[in-house]
Amino acid sequence: TKTLAGMYAALMTGLTDTGDFDPSRQKALTEYVLRQGLTGLYVGGSSGESGLLNAEELLEQQQVVATVAEADGARLIAHVGMPSLRDSIRLARNAEKLGYHGLSALPPHSYPFSDEEVEDYYRDLAAATDLPLIVYEVPVRTGRPIALPVLQRILDLPNVAGIKFTSTDLFKFSMLRRSRPKATYFFGFDEIYLAGGALGADGGIGTTYNLLGRLYVALDRAIAARDLSRAQELQDVSQVFVEALLETGVLPGMKAAFRAIGVECGPTRAPMTPRMKDADAHMRAVLERPEIK
Ligand code: NAY
């Protein structure tokens, strides 16, 4: 029943040099990521700058990615969390029509909504299609953790299949998992995937998987094989990379890294900008480091 389990790149978005959605850059980036051997793609999430794109652009992106991935057999999860339920449902229905395998959504966070409003949002979104829905716990993005009992109630809703847990509260992760063992658990912090995997995550979804997908597939295998020293070795490489990204900002640094390997995906959309002056040179140097190479 954990049909979506596995390792997914939180796919980034291709923009033109002037910041418009760029279908051909999106296609090239998607083809690159598909070659990493991951389970699939998580399309239109935070890593895809979805908070900075409008619904039309996200609908178009869903289409471009579905077309590229069709022959590949990769699983596709569409992130459809928008400020309003209406837009979320519109994206969800489009994804279902395009053959996506699952949905995911940030909790509503554009206002300080009540727990009931959050729960109602997930209930209505889950009921809008037949696709399994993955809840998203990400306090660094929403500014607010969802309380354990609320998450449990949401996991009990029809069509809600699991959760993408992007928080360092590993005890909460474990309590949730033990109380709802049938749900599918994705861990969302790349740099500590080992911890989530060791505590029973069924897979991961992450930004740096776009570039280092093979590493995360190997990390997940090492955890499954109970090979702790191999898992630690691989996690260390991921940590060196994420540490370097924190200096540039994660998404600007990822885009600089892709530029360095010849997969141009444009700038990040304003107001998101690199935190350092020569992010390109910084990321080129990072990719040359022996542990990353
Ligand atoms: C998405 O696109 O919604 C995500 O997958 C998010 C996962 C990322 N977390 C956030 C808050 O963006 O991959 C992580 C994160 O970028 C990475 O661990 C570096 O901190």
SS3 of 207, please? coil
Which tokens is 109 given?
């966070």
Q: Would you state the pLDDT for residue 150?
A: 98
45 lines ligand 1 (CB under 6 A): yes
Contact 244, 282 (CB under 8 A): yes
205 lines ligand 1 (CB under 6 A): yes
SS3 of 246, please? helix
Give me the active site residues, please: 136, 164
**134-154 CB burial, b ≥16 within 10 A, e <16:** bbbbbeebbeeebeeebbebb
The CATH fold assigned to 6-227 is: TIM Barrel (3.20.20)
Residues forming beta bridges with residue 133, ordered by sequence position = 103, 160
Residue 30 alpha carbon to ligand 1 centre in Å: 17
ipTM of this predicted structure: 0.92
CA gap 233, 222 in Å, rounded:
10
Contact 30, 69 (CB under 8 A): yes
Nearest residue CA, atom 20 of ligand 1? Answer: 189
Residue 194 alpha carbon to ligand 1 centre in Å: 15
191 lines ligand 1 (CB under 6 A): yes
Cβ neighbour number for residue 109 with a 10 Å cutoff: 17
Contact 81, 107 (CB under 8 A): yes
Nearest residue CA, atom 7 of ligand 1? Answer: 206
Atom of ligand 1 nearest to the CA of 164: 5
As averages over each run of 10 residues, the pLDDT of the chain (293 residues) reads 95 98 98 97 98 97 97 95 97 98 96 96 98 97 95 98 98 98 98 98 98 98 98 98 97 98 98 96 95 84
Atom of ligand 1 nearest to the CA of 205: 5
Cα-based distances in Å from 272 to 46, 135, 208, 261 = 12, 25, 18, 22
**70-104 CB burial, b ≥16 within 10 A, e <16:** eeeebbbbbbbbbeebebbbbbbebbbebebbbbb
Residue 46 alpha carbon to ligand 1 centre in Å: 7
Nearest residue CA, atom 10 of ligand 1? Answer: 46
CB within 8 Å of 253: residues ≥ 6 apart: 244, 245, 247, 274, 279, 282, 283
- Whole-model pTM above 0.95? yes
Q: Would you state the pLDDT for residue 293?
A: 80
CA gap 62, 47 in Å, rounded:
14
SS3 of 105, please? strand
Contact 7, 215 (CB under 8 A): no
Q: Would you state the pLDDT for residue 291?
A: 87
Atom of ligand 1 nearest to the CA of 245: 19
Domain-wise residue ranges, the chain? 6-227
Residue 81 alpha carbon to ligand 1 centre in Å: 15
The residue whose CB lies within 8 Å of the most ligand 1 atoms, and thus the one to mutate among 137, 245, 250, 254, is: 250
Atom of ligand 1 nearest to the CA of 209: 13
Find the farthest-apart pair of alpha carbons in the chain and give their distance in angstroms, rounded.
50
CA gap 201, 6 in Å, rounded:
9
